[in-house]
Structure 1
Amino acid sequence: MIQRNPHEPEFHQAVHEVLGSLEPVLERYPQYRKAGILERIVEPERQIIFRVPWVDDSGQVRVNRGFRVQFNSAIGPYKGGLRFHPSVNLGIIKFLGFEQTFKNALTGLPIGGGKGGSDFDPKGKSEGEVMRFCQSFMTELYRHIGADVDVPAGDTGVGGREIGYLYGQYKRITQSYSGVLTGKGLNWGGSLVRTEATGYGLGYFVSEMIQARGRSFQGAKVVISGSGNVAIYATQKVQQLGGTVIALSDSDGYIHDPEGIKLETVKRLKEVERKRIREYALAHPAAVYTEGCSGIWTLPCDIALPCATQNEISEESAKTLIRNGCWAVAEGANMPSTPGAVQQFLAHGVLFGPAKAANAGGVATSALEMSQNSLRYSWSFEEVDAKLKAIMTGIYRDASRAAQEYGSPGNLVSGSNIAGFLKVARAMYEQGVV
């Protein structure tokens, strides 16, 4: 696998992490090995790479690279976000699509795994530049997606604004009004709770995970990395559940507010003014801003929720968190803990919720948006929120049950990998060699 996919360390890391959990499954189901399930499940069904030419405000032609990796459709149409960020390359998209396959399976909903994006950076671009880029991107992507084929959503760098421009171009080209994207505006097919879903879902998952050990958010000090959509709504849910969020970050540095993060300020800075997190300290003198985002993990806390990017918690950072009394960690971002960090958490009895389970709320609510689009009907906020909570509770229980059944009780990393793999593998086996 490594020889066929050189220079893709994130993809290698994700594959090793999943396959390392599956030995007891393959002992029980040797037919999966014979049918080449492992060889097939690590190979994307389709990888699409394309150029994205666009014109900036000065009239200069720019060219970015676009990707869509349609990883696995065994249990439903491909489903996964689009990421616009300079770090995007094929290996990153493959790692995300591989993880997405099992995450989507864990939701219990009929959706396969995919991921896409571009090395375009929307940060610092004008509205017109973002619109022209999105229109160019969709001019190629439209031919590869569809409501029953592949349904992209947002991810890092792709929010409601970008989804709107992408959907407008898709509609213009195809002359069809279908649920081909999720994360749409509420006035044109979007779902209530979608904005809050990943952060809320993380809160629901962690609440279930810690309740199983007789704990709760009440009175807990929580550190959350990031200050985008996931971090903002994870903060909101933690606060609703009784916890105190004392820190947030962005790629430049982090703020520490021992009195508790004032969420209305963060929302204003990030969702309205699109400013850096350092500005928070100007509004709240009790808060301290520190350059360097990795330092956030030196703050003593009870619960850590990494919601920024992959591999942001190193083994050393994990050791520091443990020394400072952290007793629970759950991943709001995709693979934010290195393998060494995960080993430290598990070895020291820290409750650990892996990304494919803990941050599945976003894609779960995207699938609920797909259902509403198919029905030409909208559920209330309360209805969608209740469904999201039930899905996240079910994910925790399925992962915990699988860990127990296959010999690693309490290990939600193994449990999530096994529960997700079993659903995808059974479908692949029953559908033959395709």
Structure 2
Amino acid sequence: MPSYDRSVALWEEAKRHLAGGVSSNVRYASAPVPLFFARGEGARLYDVDGNVHIDYILGNGPAILGHAPPAVLKAVAESLADGQVFAAQHERELALAQALTRLIPGAELVRFATSGTEAVHMAFRIARAFTGRRKIVKFEGHYHGWTDQTYISVRPSLNEAGPASEPVAVPESPGMAPGALDDVLVLGWNDLAAVEALFARHGGDIAGVIMEPVMVNGGVIAPAAGYIEGVQRLCTAHGALFICDEVITGFRLGLGGAQGRFGLKPDLSIFAKAVAGGFPLALVAGRRDVMEILLTRNVMHGGTYNGNVQSMAAALAALALLEHDGGAAYRDMERCGTRLMQGLAELGRKHRLPILVQGFPAIFQTFFTTAAAPRHYRESAACDRDMAAAFSRALQEEGIRVNQRSAWFLSTAHDTAVIDETLSAADRAMARLHS
């Protein structure tokens, strides 16, 4: 069994100075305590107790090139002497905007921010200003940040969520403004008829419909055939904006994100995480006529660190690596991720465990269920979460780091040797579940 004595001691000390001992509530979900890490390199993290972890959390997605990618660090190091924050424009910012409008199908204009949560807030403001309407439609199980207007029905308990045909908007945290629920309409995902019925009732009030084009936060569930296209057609017919939250899928499912993979052109999109190879950067991209209201109608969006020199340098270097040799990095991730997904499924059969591996090679999830693959949040929530948590703990004891809901992020550093090592460890971890 690995020792975590120093992490335990540091967390006890951290609680004296940091609220809860962490800087994000998501980080509580670690055993035996929120772990402390000393460094990361490639596919591995090294904790303060000397344990080595093959990392499939990757900072919750940003480290698509692995930890400390040399080319990105070199670009950032070279930028440091140029300054950090100008409160003005610079050429790296323009160069990145040019690259993004070339790569992202729905991007005629972009605007930079620092975090995905902040960029979602910007997209909502743009949608409301452009349409003159108030209401935003979101879906159960989709996460769009932790603000009052977004942290709604992300992981609601099923006894609070109401009937599947008419879900109740459930606030996910104490302290949220009650009025925030007034402007949010909640639906179950992958049900086009439900979207049609909602537009029939509220079409003139809906400013936009936001979704993860793949429901990563609710189980890495792909959209049903024709579903996203049908939602966008309904938005267009009713004068609402179709908003894709590609904070996770962007630059993870391909250079054009999920929209490039599925052949979409959303009215607005939000990107973050993988775009800068681990450095803080987010953006809103969209139709020219929609995005231009930031200027023409003086719709307010600000931010001291937007477009900062180091994040621009990091993103330019990261995208250059991802684009190199016709996107060879993605072909390698597809190959290695497919091998890992198939290997985990085979190990489940070997150990007679009801494991389901669902998603895409660069981001997938393992479930424990005897039912069919989940199509929406409520089916995902019905899977065996206790077994998933036990599997996560067993993997950690074998040197494999996945999050508590058993989502797996891959990077370009997860090569064949790393995948083979992971599968050997997963074999031992599954054997532990029987002991």
What range describes the TM-score normalised by the shorter chain of this pair?
A: 0.3 to 0.5
Structure with greater proportional helix content: 1
TM-score by length of 1: 0.32
TM-score by length of 2: 0.32
* Larger RCO of the pair (alpha carbons < 8 Å, separation 6+): 2
